[in-house]
Structure 1
Amino acid sequence: MNDERPEKPLPELRASDADRERVVERLRDAVAEGRIDMEEFEERLETAYTSKTYAELEPLTRDLPAPGGPPMPLAAAAPAPVAADGSWASRIGGGGVPASSSAAVAVMSSFQRKGAWTVPPRLDAVAFWGSGDLDLREANFAEREVVINCIAIMGGIQITVPPGVEVDVRGFGFMGAFDQRDTPGPVAPGAPRVVVTGLAFWGGVEVKVKPPKRPKPLGGGPKLRKEL
Structure 2
Amino acid sequence: MDSPAGQLQRAREQARSRLGDGYAQDLIDQDTLDERLEAVERAATVAEIDAIVADLRPVETTALVPASAAVAVSGPPARMRVLFSSIDRTGAWHVSPRTHVRVVFGNATIDLRQAVLPGGPIELDVNVVFGNLDIIIPPGWQLDNDCGAILGSVEQLSGPPPPGQPRQVLRLRGRVIFSSLTIHERLPGENAWGARKRRKREHKALAERSARALPAGDD
2:24–2:104 CA contact under 8 A, matched in 1: no
Is 1:112 paired with 2:112? no
After TM superposition, give the deviation of residue 183 of structure 1 in Å. Answer: 3.6
* 1:117-146 C-alpha deviation (Å, 9 max, x unpaired): 111111111111110000000011123101
Question: Which one-letter code corresponds to 2:154 in the other structure?
Answer: F
Equivalent residue runs for 1:7-22 within 5 Å? none
State the match for 1:121 in structure 2. Answer: 97
1:137 maps to which of 95, 113, 121: 113
1:74 maps to which of 66, 71, 76: 71
Aligned CA distance change for structure 1 residues 163 and 51 (closer, same or farther; 3 Å): closer
Q: Distance in 2 between matches of 1:151 and 1:166?
A: 21
**3-state DSSP class of the match of 2:27?**
helix
Aligned CA distance change for structure 1 residues 190 and 51 (closer, same or farther; 3 Å): closer
State the match for 2:126 in structure 1. Answer: 150
Is 1:201 paired with 2:177? yes
Equivalent residue runs for 1:51-62 within 5 Å? none
Aligned CA distance change for structure 1 residues 40 and 152 (closer, same or farther; 3 Å): closer
State the match for 1:103 in structure 2. Answer: 79
State the match for 1:186 in structure 2. Answer: 162
Percent identity between the aligned chains?
21
2:27 maps to which of 18, 38, 43: 43
* 1:6-31 C-alpha deviation (Å, 9 max, x unpaired): xxxxxxxxxxxxxxxxxxxxxxxxxx
Point out the structure with the larger helix share. 2
TM-score after normalising by structure 2: 0.54
Q: Distance in 1 between matches of 2:110 and 2:87?
A: 8
Structure 1, unaligned runs of 5 or more: 1-38, 62-71, 76-96, 215-228
**3-state DSSP class of the match of 2:187?**
coil
1:119–1:142 CA contact under 8 A, matched in 2: yes
2:141–2:166 CA contact under 8 A, matched in 1: no
* 1:58-97 C-alpha deviation (Å, 9 max, x unpaired): xxx9xxxxxxxxxx9536xxxxxxxxxxxxxxxxxxxxx6
Aligned CA distance change for structure 1 residues 73 and 159 (closer, same or farther; 3 Å): closer
State the match for 1:83 in structure 2. Answer: none
State the match for 1:161 in structure 2. Answer: 137
Structure 1 segments of 4 or more deviating over 6 A? Answer: none
Q: How many pairs align?
A: 140
Structure 2, unaligned runs of 5 or more: 1-22, 29-52, 64-68, 191-219
* 1:159-211 C-alpha deviation (Å, 9 max, x unpaired): 00011111111100011121112146226646120011210010011100000
